[in-house]
Protein backbone atom coordinates (compact mmCIF):
# COMPACT_ATOMS: atom_id res chain seq x y z
CA UNK A 1 0.00 0.00 0.00
CA UNK A 2 1.48 3.29 -1.13
CA UNK A 3 0.36 5.15 2.00
CA UNK A 4 2.17 2.84 4.40
CA UNK A 5 5.30 3.18 2.28
CA UNK A 6 4.99 6.88 2.77
CA UNK A 7 5.35 6.68 6.57
CA UNK A 8 8.32 4.35 6.06
CA UNK A 9 9.80 6.93 3.71
CA UNK A 10 9.36 9.63 6.34
CA UNK A 11 10.92 7.49 9.07
CA UNK A 12 13.93 6.70 6.91
CA UNK A 13 14.35 10.30 5.75
CA UNK A 14 14.15 11.46 9.37
CA UNK A 15 16.90 9.03 10.35
CA UNK A 16 19.06 9.64 7.29
CA UNK A 17 18.98 13.41 7.52
CA UNK A 18 19.08 13.81 11.26
CA UNK A 19 15.52 14.86 12.01
CA UNK A 20 14.58 12.14 14.49
CA UNK A 21 16.46 9.24 16.10
CA UNK A 22 15.31 6.42 18.35
CA UNK A 23 16.16 7.23 21.96
CA UNK A 24 19.17 5.38 23.42
CA UNK A 25 19.87 3.81 20.07
CA UNK A 26 23.40 2.78 21.01
CA UNK A 27 21.83 0.47 23.62
CA UNK A 28 19.30 -1.02 21.25
CA UNK A 29 16.77 1.80 21.60
CA UNK A 30 14.07 2.66 24.13
CA UNK A 31 10.60 1.98 22.77
CA UNK A 32 8.33 4.94 22.20
CA UNK A 33 10.93 7.56 23.06
CA UNK A 34 12.57 9.67 20.37
CA UNK A 35 15.34 12.24 20.09
CA UNK A 36 15.25 15.19 17.73
CA UNK A 37 18.47 15.60 15.76
CA UNK A 38 19.97 18.81 14.33
CA UNK A 39 17.24 19.34 11.71
CA UNK A 40 14.47 17.94 13.90
CA UNK A 41 15.09 20.30 16.78
CA UNK A 42 14.89 23.27 14.39
CA UNK A 43 11.62 21.97 12.97
CA UNK A 44 10.15 21.37 16.40
CA UNK A 45 11.27 24.78 17.67
CA UNK A 46 9.68 26.36 14.61
CA UNK A 47 6.37 24.56 15.28
CA UNK A 48 6.45 25.86 18.86
CA UNK A 49 7.37 29.37 17.72
CA UNK A 50 4.53 29.38 15.19
CA UNK A 51 2.05 28.25 17.86
CA UNK A 52 3.28 30.82 20.37
CA UNK A 53 3.16 33.58 17.78
CA UNK A 54 -0.47 32.87 16.87
CA UNK A 55 -1.80 31.98 20.29
CA UNK A 56 0.14 34.43 22.50
CA UNK A 57 2.14 37.08 20.62
CA UNK A 58 -0.55 38.13 18.14
CA UNK A 59 -3.35 38.29 20.70
CA UNK A 60 -4.10 40.87 23.35
CA UNK A 61 -6.07 38.43 25.46
CA UNK A 62 -3.57 35.61 26.06
CA UNK A 63 -0.51 35.48 28.34
CA UNK A 64 2.15 32.78 28.64
CA UNK A 65 3.36 30.55 31.44
CA UNK A 66 6.00 27.86 32.01
CA UNK A 67 5.23 25.54 34.93
CA UNK A 68 7.24 22.79 36.57
CA UNK A 69 6.60 19.22 35.49
CA UNK A 70 6.45 17.95 39.07
CA UNK A 71 3.53 19.36 41.03
CA UNK A 72 1.96 18.86 44.43
CA UNK A 73 0.20 15.45 44.55
CA UNK A 74 -3.03 17.21 45.53
CA UNK A 75 -3.13 18.76 42.06
CA UNK A 76 -3.75 15.31 40.56
CA UNK A 77 -6.19 14.33 43.29
CA UNK A 78 -8.25 17.45 42.65
CA UNK A 79 -8.05 17.27 38.86
CA UNK A 80 -9.32 13.69 38.92
CA UNK A 81 -6.22 12.23 37.28
CA UNK A 82 -5.08 10.28 40.36
CA UNK A 83 -8.38 8.38 40.45
CA UNK A 84 -9.62 8.44 36.89
CA UNK A 85 -6.82 8.92 34.39
CA UNK A 86 -6.71 5.42 33.02
CA UNK A 87 -7.25 3.58 29.80
CA UNK A 88 -9.54 0.59 29.82
CA UNK A 89 -7.49 -2.37 28.59
CA UNK A 90 -7.97 -6.06 27.87
CA UNK A 91 -5.40 -8.82 27.68
CA UNK A 92 -5.53 -11.40 24.89
CA UNK A 93 -5.85 -14.82 26.54
CA UNK A 94 -3.82 -16.41 23.76
CA UNK A 95 -0.77 -14.13 23.38
CA UNK A 96 -1.08 -11.96 26.53
CA UNK A 97 -0.88 -8.72 24.54
CA UNK A 98 -2.61 -5.80 26.24
CA UNK A 99 -4.65 -3.46 24.07
CA UNK A 100 -6.76 -0.40 24.73
CA UNK A 101 -10.41 -1.38 24.40
CA UNK A 102 -11.10 1.64 22.24
CA UNK A 103 -8.26 0.63 19.89
CA UNK A 104 -9.56 -2.89 19.17
CA UNK A 105 -10.28 -3.52 15.52
CA UNK A 106 -13.75 -3.07 14.05
CA UNK A 107 -14.33 -0.35 16.59
CA UNK A 108 -14.92 2.88 14.74
CA UNK A 109 -14.41 5.04 17.85
CA UNK A 110 -10.64 5.12 17.49
CA UNK A 111 -10.34 8.40 19.25
CA UNK A 112 -12.26 7.92 22.45
CA UNK A 113 -10.50 9.91 25.12
CA UNK A 114 -9.26 8.28 28.29
CA UNK A 115 -12.28 6.87 29.99
CA UNK A 116 -13.50 7.56 33.48
CA UNK A 117 -13.06 4.19 35.13
CA UNK A 118 -16.42 4.05 36.89
CA UNK A 119 -18.50 4.87 33.87
CA UNK A 120 -16.50 2.61 31.56
CA UNK A 121 -16.88 -0.39 33.82
CA UNK A 122 -20.54 0.33 34.30
CA UNK A 123 -21.17 -0.15 30.58
CA UNK A 124 -19.08 -3.21 29.75
CA UNK A 125 -17.96 -3.00 26.13
CA UNK A 126 -18.97 -5.78 23.71
CA UNK A 127 -15.80 -7.70 22.88
CA UNK A 128 -16.98 -10.90 21.22
CA UNK A 129 -16.27 -9.58 17.73
CA UNK A 130 -13.02 -7.84 18.50
CA UNK A 131 -9.74 -9.04 17.05
CA UNK A 132 -6.42 -9.14 18.87
CA UNK A 133 -4.10 -6.85 16.89
CA UNK A 134 -1.13 -9.08 17.73
CA UNK A 135 -2.23 -12.70 17.14
CA UNK A 136 -5.59 -12.23 15.41
CA UNK A 137 -7.70 -14.35 17.76
CA UNK A 138 -11.29 -13.17 18.06
CA UNK A 139 -13.24 -12.43 21.25
CA UNK A 140 -10.63 -14.09 23.41
CA UNK A 141 -10.02 -11.40 26.00
CA UNK A 142 -9.90 -10.95 29.76
CA UNK A 143 -12.43 -8.65 31.44
CA UNK A 144 -11.60 -4.99 30.75
CA UNK A 145 -9.46 -3.42 33.48
CA UNK A 146 -8.27 0.11 34.12
CA UNK A 147 -4.61 0.91 33.50
CA UNK A 148 -3.19 4.00 35.24
CA UNK A 149 -1.45 6.25 32.74
CA UNK A 150 0.53 8.51 35.04
CA UNK A 151 4.20 7.78 35.67
CA UNK A 152 5.07 7.68 39.35
CA UNK A 153 8.29 8.96 40.85
CA UNK A 154 9.64 9.78 44.32
CA UNK A 155 10.63 13.15 45.68
CA UNK A 156 12.84 13.59 48.72
CA UNK A 157 15.91 11.75 49.94
CA UNK A 158 14.75 10.61 53.42
CA UNK A 159 12.28 7.84 54.11
CA UNK A 160 10.07 10.04 56.30
CA UNK A 161 9.86 12.97 53.91
CA UNK A 162 9.78 11.05 50.61
CA UNK A 163 6.61 11.59 48.63
CA UNK A 164 5.14 9.76 45.69
CA UNK A 165 4.76 12.20 42.83
CA UNK A 166 3.58 12.04 39.25
CA UNK A 167 5.10 13.26 36.04
CA UNK A 168 2.37 15.51 34.64
CA UNK A 169 0.17 13.83 32.02
CA UNK A 170 -0.95 17.23 30.68
CA UNK A 171 0.32 20.78 31.05
CA UNK A 172 -3.14 22.21 31.71
CA UNK A 173 -3.21 21.64 35.48
CA UNK A 174 -0.19 23.91 35.98
CA UNK A 175 -2.23 26.65 34.37
CA UNK A 176 -5.24 26.12 36.64
CA UNK A 177 -2.96 26.02 39.68
CA UNK A 178 -1.56 29.43 38.65
CA UNK A 179 -4.88 31.03 37.70
CA UNK A 180 -4.92 33.11 40.90
CA UNK A 181 -1.26 34.13 40.52
CA UNK A 182 -1.82 35.39 37.00
CA UNK A 183 -5.00 37.24 37.99
CA UNK A 184 -3.23 38.94 40.89
CA UNK A 185 -0.06 39.94 39.06
CA UNK A 186 -1.24 41.03 35.62
CA UNK A 187 -4.02 43.20 34.26
CA UNK A 188 -5.88 40.40 32.54
CA UNK A 189 -9.65 40.54 32.52
CA UNK A 190 -12.06 37.85 31.52
CA UNK A 191 -12.21 36.72 28.74
CA UNK A 192 -8.51 35.85 28.66
CA UNK A 193 -6.25 32.87 28.19
CA UNK A 194 -3.07 31.39 29.68
CA UNK A 195 -0.87 29.40 27.31
CA UNK A 196 1.91 26.94 27.93
CA UNK A 197 4.16 24.62 25.92
CA UNK A 198 5.89 21.76 27.70
CA UNK A 199 6.57 18.09 28.16
CA UNK A 200 3.91 15.65 29.29
CA UNK A 201 4.20 11.98 30.14
CA UNK A 202 1.75 9.11 29.79
CA UNK A 203 2.46 5.44 30.22
CA UNK A 204 0.51 4.64 27.06
CA UNK A 205 -0.63 1.03 26.67
CA UNK A 206 0.36 0.90 23.04
CA UNK A 207 2.65 3.28 21.23
CA UNK A 208 3.71 2.81 17.57
CA UNK A 209 3.50 5.00 14.50
CA UNK A 210 6.79 6.76 15.10
CA UNK A 211 6.30 10.02 17.07
CA UNK A 212 2.50 9.94 16.81
CA UNK A 213 1.95 8.29 20.18
CA UNK A 214 4.88 8.24 22.58
CA UNK A 215 5.23 8.08 26.35
CA UNK A 216 7.07 11.39 26.61
CA UNK A 217 5.78 14.16 24.37
CA UNK A 218 5.29 17.87 24.17
CA UNK A 219 1.98 19.69 24.35
CA UNK A 220 0.92 23.22 23.53
CA UNK A 221 -2.13 24.08 25.59
CA UNK A 222 -4.29 27.12 26.06
CA UNK A 223 -6.81 27.51 28.85
CA UNK A 224 -9.14 30.29 27.81
CA UNK A 225 -11.23 31.60 30.72
CA UNK A 226 -14.62 33.09 29.93
CA UNK A 227 -17.92 33.97 31.54
CA UNK A 228 -20.37 31.04 31.77
CA UNK A 229 -22.89 31.46 29.00
CA UNK A 230 -20.28 32.77 26.56
CA UNK A 231 -18.44 29.44 26.47
CA UNK A 232 -20.11 28.03 23.38
CA UNK A 233 -19.21 31.12 21.38
CA UNK A 234 -15.57 30.89 22.48
CA UNK A 235 -15.54 27.19 21.73
CA UNK A 236 -16.48 27.96 18.12
CA UNK A 237 -13.98 30.82 18.01
CA UNK A 238 -11.09 28.58 19.05
CA UNK A 239 -12.13 25.75 16.76
CA UNK A 240 -11.90 28.15 13.85
CA UNK A 241 -8.58 29.70 14.96
CA UNK A 242 -6.90 26.38 15.48
CA UNK A 243 -8.07 24.92 12.18
CA UNK A 244 -6.81 27.99 10.34
CA UNK A 245 -3.43 27.70 12.06
CA UNK A 246 -2.74 24.32 10.47
CA UNK A 247 -3.95 25.49 7.07
CA UNK A 248 -1.87 28.69 7.36
CA UNK A 249 1.24 26.59 7.95
CA UNK A 250 0.67 24.67 4.78
CA UNK A 251 -1.28 21.51 5.70
CA UNK A 252 -3.46 20.60 2.75
CA UNK A 253 -7.12 21.31 3.41
CA UNK A 254 -8.21 17.91 2.11
CA UNK A 255 -6.09 16.23 4.81
CA UNK A 256 -7.72 18.10 7.72
CA UNK A 257 -11.16 17.85 9.28
CA UNK A 258 -13.08 18.28 12.53
CA UNK A 259 -14.62 15.45 14.44
CA UNK A 260 -17.17 16.36 17.08
CA UNK A 261 -17.19 13.92 20.02
CA UNK A 262 -20.43 12.13 20.81
CA UNK A 263 -21.79 12.69 24.31
CA UNK A 264 -20.81 9.16 25.43
CA UNK A 265 -17.13 9.57 24.53
CA UNK A 266 -16.56 12.89 26.28
CA UNK A 267 -13.84 13.02 28.92
CA UNK A 268 -15.14 13.34 32.48
CA UNK A 269 -14.56 17.10 32.56
CA UNK A 270 -15.89 18.11 29.15
CA UNK A 271 -19.20 19.60 28.05
CA UNK A 272 -18.22 19.31 24.39
CA UNK A 273 -15.11 18.43 22.45
CA UNK A 274 -13.98 18.56 18.84
CA UNK A 275 -10.80 17.09 17.45
CA UNK A 276 -8.80 18.51 14.58
CA UNK A 277 -7.96 15.38 12.65
CA UNK A 278 -5.29 14.78 10.03
CA UNK A 279 -5.25 12.07 7.39
CA UNK A 280 -2.09 10.27 8.48
CA UNK A 281 -0.71 7.52 6.26
CA UNK A 282 -1.11 4.81 8.93
CA UNK A 283 -3.47 3.41 11.55
CA UNK A 284 -6.71 1.52 11.45
CA UNK A 285 -8.44 4.52 9.92
CA UNK A 286 -6.47 7.26 8.26
CA UNK A 287 -7.96 10.10 10.26
CA UNK A 288 -6.19 10.64 13.56
CA UNK A 289 -6.36 13.32 16.24
CA UNK A 290 -3.91 16.22 15.99
CA UNK A 291 -5.50 18.45 18.58
CA UNK A 292 -8.46 18.37 20.92
CA UNK A 293 -10.56 21.47 21.62
CA UNK A 294 -12.64 20.98 24.74
CA UNK A 295 -15.18 22.95 26.71
CA UNK A 296 -13.93 22.05 30.21
CA UNK A 297 -16.62 24.18 31.86
CA UNK A 298 -15.74 25.33 35.41
CA UNK A 299 -14.81 21.76 36.35
CA UNK A 300 -11.07 22.23 36.97
CA UNK A 301 -11.20 25.48 38.95
CA UNK A 302 -14.04 24.10 41.12
CA UNK A 303 -12.11 20.90 41.70
CA UNK A 304 -9.03 22.87 42.76
CA UNK A 305 -11.18 24.91 45.15
CA UNK A 306 -12.17 21.56 46.69
CA UNK A 307 -8.49 20.57 46.66
CA UNK A 308 -7.51 23.68 48.61
CA UNK A 309 -10.21 22.89 51.22
CA UNK A 310 -8.88 19.32 51.47
CA UNK A 311 -5.39 20.41 52.53
CA UNK A 312 -6.15 20.05 56.25
CA UNK A 313 -6.79 16.33 55.64
CA UNK A 314 -3.52 16.14 53.77
CA UNK A 315 -1.64 17.19 56.91
CA UNK A 316 -3.86 15.20 59.29
CA UNK A 317 -3.26 11.98 57.34
CA UNK A 318 0.45 12.56 57.15
CA UNK A 319 0.28 13.07 53.38
CA UNK A 320 -1.02 9.57 52.75
CA UNK A 321 -3.00 10.11 49.58
CA UNK A 322 -4.81 6.76 49.84
CA UNK A 323 -6.60 8.02 52.98
CA UNK A 324 -7.71 11.33 51.54
CA UNK A 325 -11.05 12.07 49.92
CA UNK A 326 -11.77 15.45 48.43
CA UNK A 327 -13.83 17.70 50.67
CA UNK A 328 -17.31 18.48 49.36
CA UNK A 329 -17.97 21.70 47.55
CA UNK A 330 -19.62 24.43 49.65
CA UNK A 331 -22.86 26.09 48.54
CA UNK A 332 -21.07 29.37 47.93
CA UNK A 333 -18.38 27.91 45.64
CA UNK A 334 -18.99 30.77 43.19
CA UNK A 335 -17.08 33.04 45.57
CA UNK A 336 -14.28 30.60 46.35
CA UNK A 337 -10.53 31.33 46.09
CA UNK A 338 -10.42 30.63 42.35
CA UNK A 339 -13.42 32.76 41.47
CA UNK A 340 -13.26 35.94 39.42
CA UNK A 341 -14.79 39.28 40.27
CA UNK A 342 -16.09 41.20 37.28
CA UNK A 343 -15.78 44.85 38.38
CA UNK A 344 -17.99 46.26 35.63
CA UNK A 345 -20.80 43.76 36.08
CA UNK A 346 -20.26 43.63 39.86
CA UNK A 347 -20.52 39.89 39.69
CA UNK A 348 -18.39 37.04 41.07
CA UNK A 349 -18.24 33.64 39.42
CA UNK A 350 -16.01 30.66 38.61
CA UNK A 351 -15.09 31.03 34.94
CA UNK A 352 -15.65 28.47 32.23
CA UNK A 353 -12.67 27.23 30.25
CA UNK A 354 -12.16 26.46 26.59
CA UNK A 355 -9.05 24.39 26.00
CA UNK A 356 -7.33 23.90 22.65
CA UNK A 357 -4.72 21.21 23.36
CA UNK A 358 -2.24 20.40 20.60
CA UNK A 359 0.59 17.88 20.39
CA UNK A 360 3.83 19.43 19.17
CA UNK A 361 5.35 16.09 18.11
CA UNK A 362 2.14 15.03 16.38
CA UNK A 363 1.93 18.35 14.55
CA UNK A 364 5.60 18.05 13.54
CA UNK A 365 4.81 14.59 12.12
CA UNK A 366 1.81 15.95 10.21
CA UNK A 367 3.93 18.80 8.80
CA UNK A 368 6.61 16.28 7.75
CA UNK A 369 4.11 13.92 6.11
CA UNK A 370 2.29 16.71 4.34
CA UNK A 371 5.47 18.39 3.08
CA UNK A 372 7.05 15.18 1.81
CA UNK A 373 7.20 14.87 -1.95
CA UNK A 374 8.98 12.86 -4.60
CA UNK A 375 9.27 13.86 -8.23
CA UNK A 376 11.28 12.92 -11.26
CA UNK A 377 13.65 15.54 -12.62
CA UNK A 378 15.58 14.75 -15.78
CA UNK A 379 15.31 11.00 -15.16
CA UNK A 380 16.33 11.22 -11.49
CA UNK A 381 14.21 11.00 -8.36
CA UNK A 382 14.09 14.18 -6.31
CA UNK A 383 12.99 13.90 -2.66
CA UNK A 384 11.91 17.11 -1.06
CA UNK A 385 10.12 18.57 1.91
CA UNK A 386 7.88 21.40 0.81
CA UNK A 387 7.79 23.00 4.27
CA UNK A 388 6.09 26.30 4.87
CA UNK A 389 8.93 28.84 5.16
CA UNK A 390 8.20 29.43 8.85
CA UNK A 391 8.77 25.74 9.59
CA UNK A 392 11.82 25.04 7.41
CA UNK A 393 14.74 24.07 9.70
CA UNK A 394 17.28 25.82 7.45
CA UNK A 395 16.07 28.86 5.56
CA UNK A 396 19.05 29.46 3.27
CA UNK A 397 21.87 27.31 1.87
CA UNK A 398 24.99 29.19 0.71
CA UNK A 399 27.41 27.62 -1.78
CA UNK A 400 30.37 28.57 -3.95
CA UNK A 401 29.91 26.92 -7.36
CA UNK A 402 33.50 25.68 -7.28
CA UNK A 403 36.28 25.81 -4.70
CA UNK A 404 38.50 28.31 -6.53
CA UNK A 405 38.75 31.80 -8.06
CA UNK A 406 37.81 33.42 -4.76
CA UNK A 407 34.27 32.00 -4.83
CA UNK A 408 34.49 30.29 -1.39
CA UNK A 409 35.61 33.57 0.21
CA UNK A 410 32.69 35.54 -1.26
CA UNK A 411 30.24 32.76 -0.34
CA UNK A 412 31.60 32.64 3.23
CA UNK A 413 31.13 36.40 3.59
CA UNK A 414 27.55 36.11 2.40
CA UNK A 415 26.97 33.24 4.83
CA UNK A 416 28.44 35.19 7.77
CA UNK A 417 26.16 38.10 6.93
CA UNK A 418 22.97 36.09 6.30
CA UNK A 419 23.25 33.91 9.39
CA UNK A 420 22.66 36.98 11.56
CA UNK A 421 19.16 37.02 10.12
CA UNK A 422 18.23 33.48 9.09
CA UNK A 423 19.22 29.95 9.95
CA UNK A 424 21.77 29.24 7.18
CA UNK A 425 23.94 26.36 6.04
CA UNK A 426 27.28 26.68 4.23
CA UNK A 427 28.44 23.88 1.92
CA UNK A 428 31.28 23.79 -0.57
CA UNK A 429 31.70 20.04 -1.02
CA UNK A 430 30.63 17.98 -4.06
CA UNK A 431 28.72 18.72 -7.24
CA UNK A 432 26.34 21.67 -7.04
CA UNK A 433 23.38 19.48 -8.10
CA UNK A 434 23.94 17.17 -5.17
CA UNK A 435 24.20 20.07 -2.77
CA UNK A 436 20.83 21.34 -4.03
CA UNK A 437 19.30 17.88 -3.59
CA UNK A 438 20.52 17.66 0.00
CA UNK A 439 18.88 20.97 0.80
CA UNK A 440 15.67 19.93 -1.01
CA UNK A 441 15.53 16.91 1.25
CA UNK A 442 16.03 19.09 4.34
CA UNK A 443 13.25 21.42 3.14
CA UNK A 444 15.49 24.49 2.69
CA UNK A 445 13.47 27.03 0.67
CA UNK A 446 16.37 28.99 -0.86
CA UNK A 447 19.92 28.26 -1.97
CA UNK A 448 22.39 31.00 -2.88
CA UNK A 449 25.22 30.14 -5.26
CA UNK A 450 28.29 32.26 -5.92
CA UNK A 451 29.52 31.61 -9.48
CA UNK A 452 31.71 33.08 -12.23
CA UNK A 453 29.26 35.87 -12.91
CA UNK A 454 29.38 36.97 -9.26
CA UNK A 455 33.02 37.95 -9.80
CA UNK A 456 31.96 40.22 -12.66
CA UNK A 457 28.70 41.84 -11.57
CA UNK A 458 28.22 41.05 -7.87
CA UNK A 459 25.07 39.02 -8.45
CA UNK A 460 24.38 35.54 -7.13
CA UNK A 461 21.97 32.80 -8.10
CA UNK A 462 19.03 32.24 -5.79
CA UNK A 463 17.40 28.85 -6.40
CA UNK A 464 13.90 28.15 -5.14
CA UNK A 465 13.26 24.72 -3.64
CA UNK A 466 9.75 24.08 -4.93
CA UNK A 467 10.04 25.24 -8.55
CA UNK A 468 13.84 24.90 -8.87
CA UNK A 469 13.60 28.26 -10.62
CA UNK A 470 16.79 30.34 -10.42
CA UNK A 471 16.94 34.12 -10.32
CA UNK A 472 19.88 36.48 -10.12
CA UNK A 473 19.98 38.88 -7.18
CA UNK A 474 22.65 41.46 -6.33
CA UNK A 475 24.58 40.69 -3.18
CA UNK A 476 23.53 44.08 -1.77
CA UNK A 477 19.85 43.29 -2.03
CA UNK A 478 20.03 39.65 -0.85
CA UNK A 479 18.95 40.39 2.68
CA UNK A 480 15.82 42.31 1.73
CA UNK A 481 15.04 39.81 -1.05
CA UNK A 482 15.09 36.95 1.48
CA UNK A 483 13.25 38.87 4.21
CA UNK A 484 10.56 39.60 1.73
CA UNK A 485 10.21 36.00 0.62
CA UNK A 486 10.65 34.33 3.99
CA UNK A 487 8.45 36.72 5.95
CA UNK A 488 10.39 35.97 9.12
P1 LIG B 1 -5.57 9.80 22.44
O2 LIG B 1 -7.04 9.49 22.50
O3 LIG B 1 -4.98 9.76 21.05
O4 LIG B 1 -4.75 9.04 23.44
P5 LIG B 1 -6.18 12.13 23.94
O6 LIG B 1 -7.52 12.48 23.43
O7 LIG B 1 -6.03 11.49 25.24
O8 LIG B 1 -5.37 11.33 22.83
P9 LIG B 1 -5.51 14.73 24.80
O10 LIG B 1 -5.47 14.39 26.22
O11 LIG B 1 -6.67 15.49 24.26
O12 LIG B 1 -5.28 13.43 23.90
O13 LIG B 1 -4.14 15.48 24.44
C14 LIG B 1 -4.08 16.60 23.59
C15 LIG B 1 -3.09 16.40 22.49
O16 LIG B 1 -1.83 15.97 23.00
C17 LIG B 1 -3.48 15.31 21.49
O18 LIG B 1 -4.34 15.82 20.51
C19 LIG B 1 -2.14 14.93 20.90
O20 LIG B 1 -1.76 15.83 19.87
C21 LIG B 1 -1.20 15.12 22.06
N22 LIG B 1 -0.93 13.81 22.68
C23 LIG B 1 -1.68 13.18 23.62
N24 LIG B 1 -1.12 12.00 23.95
C25 LIG B 1 0.00 11.89 23.20
C26 LIG B 1 1.02 10.90 23.08
N27 LIG B 1 1.01 9.79 23.82
N28 LIG B 1 2.03 11.11 22.21
C29 LIG B 1 2.09 12.24 21.46
N30 LIG B 1 1.15 13.21 21.53
C31 LIG B 1 0.14 13.05 22.39
Ligand 1: which residues within 6 Å by Cβ? 111, 113-114, 170, 202, 204, 213-214, 217, 219, 289-292, 357-359, 361-362
Report yes or no: 306 and 191 within 8 Å, Cβ to Cβ.
no
Question: What secondary structure letter does DSSP report for 402?
Answer: S
pLDDT at 244 over 50: yes
Average pLDDT, the chain: 91
Ligand 1 pocket: which of 292, 294, 361 to mutate (most atoms within 8 A of CB):
292
**How far apart are the C-alpha atoms of 316 and 331, rounded to whole Å?**
24
Strand partners, 297: 353
Task: Identify the burial level of 160 via C-beta atoms within 10 angstroms of its C-beta, where 0-12 means exposed, 13-18 middle and 19 or more buried.
Answer: exposed
Q: What pLDDT is recorded for position 234?
A: 98
Report yes or no: 326 and 250 within 8 Å, Cβ to Cβ.
no
In total, the chain counts a number of residues equal to 488
Question: What secondary structure letter does DSSP report for 34?
Answer: E
What global pTM score does this model have? 0.90
3-state secondary structure of 42: helix
pLDDT digits 0-9 by tens, 363-382: 999 999 999 999 998 888 99
**How far apart are the C-alpha atoms of 13 and 372, rounded to whole Å?**
10
**How far apart are the C-alpha atoms of 30 and 33, rounded to whole Å?**
6
DSSP class per residue in 54-67: IIIIT-SSEEE---
pLDDT digits 0-9 by tens, 326-364: 999 999 999 999 999 999 999 999 999 999 999 999 999
Nearest CA to ligand 1 atom 21: 359
Q: What pLDDT is recorded for position 116?
A: 45
pLDDT at 146 over 90: no
N-terminal to C-terminal alpha carbon distance within the chain = 39
Of 13-17, 71-75, 82-86, 395-399, the poorest mean pLDDT is in 82-86
Q: How far is the CA of 339 from the centre of ligand 1 (A)?
A: 29
Report yes or no: 459 and 470 within 8 Å, Cβ to Cβ.
no
Superfamily of domain 8-84+150-366: Bira Bifunctional Protein; Domain 2 (3.30.930.10)
pLDDT band at 37 (very low <50, low <70, confident <90, very high): very high
Question: What secondary structure letter does DSSP report for 142?
Answer: P
Q: What pLDDT is recorded for position 124?
A: 59
**How far apart are the C-alpha atoms of 154 and 297, rounded to whole Å?**
32
Sign of CA dihedral 330, 336, 341, 346: positive
Q: Which residues, at least 6 apart from 325, have a Cβ–Cβ distance to it below 8 Å?
A: 310, 313
More confident residue, 145 or 44: 44
Task: Return the closest-CA partner of residue 112 out of 144, 70, 73.
Answer: 144
CATH topology of domain 394-486: Rossmann fold (3.40.50)
Strand partners, 472: 461
Max CA distance (Å), the chain: 84
pLDDT digits 0-9 by tens, 450-482: 999 999 999 999 999 999 999 999 999 999 999
Amino acid sequence: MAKITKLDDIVSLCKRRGFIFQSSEIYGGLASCYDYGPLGVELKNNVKKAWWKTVVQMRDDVVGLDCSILMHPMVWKASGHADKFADLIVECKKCNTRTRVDHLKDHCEEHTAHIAIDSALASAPELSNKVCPNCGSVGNFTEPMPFQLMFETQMGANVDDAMTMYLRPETAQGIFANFRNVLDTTRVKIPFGIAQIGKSFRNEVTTKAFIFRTREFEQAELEFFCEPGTDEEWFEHWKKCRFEWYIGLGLKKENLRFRQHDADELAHYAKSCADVEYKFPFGSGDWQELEGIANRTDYDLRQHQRGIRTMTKWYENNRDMTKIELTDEPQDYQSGPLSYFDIEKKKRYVPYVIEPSAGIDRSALAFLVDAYDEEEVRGEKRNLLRFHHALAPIKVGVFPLVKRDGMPEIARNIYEDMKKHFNCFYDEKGAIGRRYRRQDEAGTPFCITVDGQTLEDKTVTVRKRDSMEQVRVTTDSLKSFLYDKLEV
